[in-house]
Structure 1
Amino acid sequence: MAAPGKPLKELQSEITCSICRCYFCEPVTIGCGHSFCQACLSSSWRGEASAFSCPECRGVSQDGEIPLVNRRLAQLTELGKEISFKLMQSTQGQSQCVPHQKPFKLFCEEDQTALCVTCGESPEHGAHKISPIQEAAHKYRRELQHIRSLLGNHLEEDEQLLAQEEKPAVDWSNLFSREYSKIYTLLLDEVKSLGVPERIRQEHKANQDRLSQHLQTLQDFMLELQALAHQPNVDLLQDSKHLLRSIDAVLSQRAKAVTPELIEHPIPGLMEILKRLQVELTLDPTSADSCVSVSGDLKSAKAAEDWPEETKPPEDFPLHYVFIMSSYAFSSGSLYWEVDVAQLPQWVLGIYTPSLRTRRRSGKKVTCTSLFLLQCVKKEEDYYLRTYPGPLNHRVKSPFPRIGVYLQYSSGTLGFYNVFQRSLIYKFYSIPFTAPVKPIFCPGPPLPGTKPGPMTLCPVDSHLCSCCHSSQ
């Protein structure tokens, strides 16, 4: 029996709440025309203070009152549920084997086909795995339920990511405007010709479009799973395999779909200015753990073979990382140093200060972190950069061979730069320093089965050209 037609799927879509993904229960319709379960909308609006937005189109509604139940939509929902149930009942038990005129009671896993008892005894399926059709259907229903639950979780997370993308945590336009203001008078013509703000808006729009498309794909899968659950056993078994493969393919690419790509814009003259502030650093071997070896000239560090296995979850970062400190501490001035990480797929760079002023925010005391870090992580074939603390969690097209670090003590500024591309990665502002600051380094964790290379402090007179760039 064929699957329910397009009109039935459209009806099911119209009577399904986009928040809970189930048929409406006491549906209400808001000003923009979208409808939700009364309880779902109430829960969604509970945390909003003044402007109440539609959970589906994000349109703002000034009226925060929950509307009365839409009785006609409630009746339509009950009618749609009854039609779906009757269609399911009418198709049960009608499928049978055409050659033998016997009902389908078996299912061949290899051929993904329903069989009657006579077909199951034929030599054609003698070596195949054959199960009772009820048992096979039950197995696939459980798997579909698991996938539906997984998609529901991803859908909720991705909706939150889209909401964050609409109000990005990182104000890229402001970030780059501050950077360009330093060289504005000398490079006014170059800045105008680059058109950076417009390019940032375009890339931000591309991130939104990619995430919206991913969300739409998940929503479509949810509707297909809901429709598939009401199909007769034979149709369910025949359609499930293809749907599961499609879902697996989408989920395998989820990290790329939901993680934005790092915006990189070369800044003319940036490296020349920072190079004037570069200082020579050496590592403090007394601060090194046994799983980190330091070179004789105190300029490089390498992960040892006994690097501890990661046993804590990523959210515990940076507690489960091994750091080594610089021999020098700084309590004034503007400073810059560069670190060669070309032979490391994973690393952490940053600063440590033992004491920070306690801030007051909304009348409450807020204790500030003493670590400010940039981390590079490799997952499969992709590289990801994130900050601690801070909102940066972005993909990069390829690993960076050299990282520049800029520290201005008086203003509490800490910046990280891609030296090869001459571009800003991320910058912390207004860190309340009250004690000397020490640069810190972590040459790991190494990837399993690989031989880690060194993390090297670059001399003041060193330069990086295109021929020096190497990827892991």
Structure 2
Amino acid sequence: MAATVKFLKELQSEITCSICRGYFYEPVTIRCGHSFCRACLSSSWRVGAPDFSCPQCRQVSQDREIPLVNRHLAELTELGKELSSNLTQITEGQNQCVTHKEPFKLFCEEDQTALWVTCCETPEHGGHKIFPKEEAAHKYRGELQHLQIRLGKHLEEAEQLLAQEERPAMDWHEIIRGEFHRLHCLLMEEENLCFKRIRQEQKASQDRLYQYMQSLQDLRQELQEVGHQANLDLLQDAKELLGRSEAVLAQQTKAITPEMREYPIHSLIEMLNRFRVDLTLDPRSATSCVTISEDLKHLKAGGSWQVESKTTEDSTHHYAFAKQVFRSGTLYWEVDVTQLPQWILGIYTPHLKRKRARNVASCASVFLLRCVKKEGNYYLQTYPGPLNHQMKSPLPRVGVYLEYSLGTLAFYNVLQSSLIYKFHSIPFKAPVIPIFSPGPPLPGTKPGPMILCPVDSHLCACCYSSQ
């Protein structure tokens, strides 16, 4: 019965004119879809009015004439009126007690049930609060009216808030646009300063090479001249000349080997941290040369790794793999290498798209950044790639950025917030697996672990200097 009543109420709303609030009489439907009694709409659309708009939604109509009667809606209205009449007769029959055939006079508040006078004497209503029907209706009508007032106040407050949102005291669009413009200007200024520094350092490097080349040319000229001197004169100058020559040649490494430059970029690492992923090591990749901790975050050079007396380009390397395998997305992770003099980081990708792979180091399956220590100096090298630069000091932490769709792999100095090297346009074809190598260890040393940094682990200059 409740479902029937609900349906009839919905039907009544559909067959009721919003102007006269009564059932449709000769209903007409205008272009916007709303319907009205023909006479109601005619009185609403006054002759000579410049615009004819819908009385309900105010949409302006292009029509200047009253539409024809909607026969289907008229038939539906008659059907609805008949159903409502039948329901009224049914509900009137329900307004009396089924047992006593008398109209309800009382109301049980606990059971929310209407009762005849003698019904309240039954055990099922014993001890319940019983009120006269009119008194109970008056009480609930008052509560509903109070609730209606509260709802009206809330509605009014919501309308005021909506008006404030439509006409805010602060123009947030302009404020935010101004903040981003200011930030953009600061970044542009920082970029220009960085470019200026790059030009200065390039010039200083070129000047250093020119000076070194001039020293070599002067020495070679002097050696040629001394070679044509008499024996006694040659013997007098030879020792001093040989000493100066060795001193000049000793400057070769410093003059020729490029130094790893650091160009900090404001908030770079903070932006990369948006793509931070939590890597763990694959325990199956552990060997006697590379051991992996139980938490799958630390790896060390094992005792079986053959320590070579001299580091060479062909030194044996042993790798561990990440448990995670990537086939899409933008990803970033950090690795702590503070306790390692030599290490390797990168990715392994066994499959590359052949059409483009010819331009990427002969279809290399690994892309690596390697730290090598020689004669007390640290060098960063890439494979494949041209990077072979000397560092001012060892790196404490390296960030690795992978953008699969663009084929980008980049390495960052986390402490300095600067780029180390970037591989471009690698034709990735799934999968891509991060790889790690905590060596090779140097003779006579016992290096510590390489650590995969947790997602919530961050490094800055102040906390590193205090370690």
* TM interval, short-chain normalised: 0.5 to 0.7
CA deviation vs aligned residue, 1:205-227 (integer Å, no higher than 9, x gap):
21111112111111222122222
> Equivalent residue for 1:260?
258
Matches of 2:181 and 2:338, distance apart in 1: 32
**What SS does the aligned partner of 2:428 have?**
coil
2:236 counterpart of 1:238: yes
- Compute the displacement of 1:247 (Å): 2.2
TM-score, normalization by structure 1: 0.56
2:464 counterpart of 1:466: no
* Amino acid in the other structure paired with 1:406: Y
- Compute the displacement of 1:470 (Å): 7.2
CA change 1:330–1:186 in 2 (3 A) is farther
**What SS does the aligned partner of 2:275 have?**
coil
2:394 counterpart of 1:396: no
> Equivalent residue for 1:248?
246
Could you say which structure has the larger radius of gyration?
A: 2
Matches of 1:205 and 1:341, distance apart in 2: 32
* Amino acid in the other structure paired with 1:423: S
Matches of 1:457 and 1:313, distance apart in 2: 25
Matches of 2:433 and 2:356, distance apart in 1: 25
2:271 counterpart of 1:273: yes
2:326 counterpart of 1:334: no
2:377 counterpart of 1:382: yes
Matches of 1:184 and 1:387, distance apart in 2: 37
> Equivalent residue for 1:227?
225
Checking the alignment, whether the CA contact within 8 Å between 2:209 and 2:255 is kept in structure 1 is yes
- Compute the displacement of 1:411 (Å): 0.7
> Equivalent residue for 2:184?
187
Matches of 2:352 and 2:445, distance apart in 1: 39
Checking the alignment, whether the CA contact within 8 Å between 2:356 and 2:427 is kept in structure 1 is no
RMSD (Å) for aligned C-alpha atoms: 2.8
- 2:354 alignment partner, one of 351, 358, 365: 358
- 1:420 alignment partner, one of 399, 415, 424: 415
> Equivalent residue for 1:408?
403
2:292 counterpart of 1:297: no
Checking the alignment, whether the CA contact within 8 Å between 2:307 and 2:443 is kept in structure 1 is no
- Compute the displacement of 1:396 (Å): 1.7
Matches of 2:403 and 2:181, distance apart in 1: 20
Matches of 1:274 and 1:366, distance apart in 2: 27
* Amino acid in the other structure paired with 1:404: G
CA change 1:273–1:360 in 2 (3 A) is closer
CA change 1:467–1:287 in 2 (3 A) is same
Checking the alignment, whether the CA contact within 8 Å between 1:358 and 1:366 is kept in structure 2 is no
Checking the alignment, whether the CA contact within 8 Å between 1:325 and 1:441 is kept in structure 2 is yes
Matches of 2:280 and 2:377, distance apart in 1: 31
Matches of 2:449 and 2:231, distance apart in 1: 59
Matches of 1:468 and 1:208, distance apart in 2: 36
Matches of 2:250 and 2:415, distance apart in 1: 31
> Equivalent residue for 1:455?
450
Matches of 1:310 and 1:359, distance apart in 2: 40
Identity %: 61
* Amino acid in the other structure paired with 1:358: R
> Equivalent residue for 1:62?
none
**What SS does the aligned partner of 1:378 have?**
strand
**What SS does the aligned partner of 1:187 have?**
helix
- Compute the displacement of 1:414 (Å): 0.5
Matches of 1:400 and 1:382, distance apart in 2: 12
- 386-395 vs 187-196, which deviates more? 187-196
Matches of 1:458 and 1:304, distance apart in 2: 21
> Equivalent residue for 2:197?
199
Matches of 1:425 and 1:230, distance apart in 2: 50
Matches of 1:437 and 1:413, distance apart in 2: 12
> Equivalent residue for 1:348?
344
- Compute the displacement of 1:288 (Å): 3.0
Matches of 2:353 and 2:202, distance apart in 1: 35
* Amino acid in the other structure paired with 2:243: R
* Amino acid in the other structure paired with 1:327: K
* Amino acid in the other structure paired with 2:283: P
Matches of 2:403 and 2:262, distance apart in 1: 22
- Compute the displacement of 1:378 (Å): 1.6
- 430-439 vs 458-467, which deviates more? 458-467
**What SS does the aligned partner of 1:212 have?**
helix
Matches of 2:229 and 2:430, distance apart in 1: 68
* Amino acid in the other structure paired with 2:417: R
- Compute the displacement of 1:236 (Å): 2.4
CA change 1:360–1:342 in 2 (3 A) is closer
**What SS does the aligned partner of 1:339 have?**
strand
> Equivalent residue for 1:178?
none
**What SS does the aligned partner of 2:212 have?**
helix
Matches of 1:434 and 1:360, distance apart in 2: 11
CA change 1:388–1:226 in 2 (3 A) is same
Matches of 1:365 and 1:417, distance apart in 2: 21
2:439 counterpart of 1:444: yes
CA deviation vs aligned residue, 1:393-434 (integer Å, no higher than 9, x gap):
212211110000000111101010000011111111110001
Q: Which runs of 5+ in 2 are unaligned?
A: 1-179
* Amino acid in the other structure paired with 2:241: L
Matches of 2:303 and 2:228, distance apart in 1: 55
CA deviation vs aligned residue, 1:176-211 (integer Å, no higher than 9, x gap):
xxxxxxx99943323324522222112112111111
* Amino acid in the other structure paired with 2:341: P
- Compute the displacement of 1:350 (Å): 0.5
Q: Where in structure 2 are the equivalents of 1:36-75 lying within 5 Å? A: none
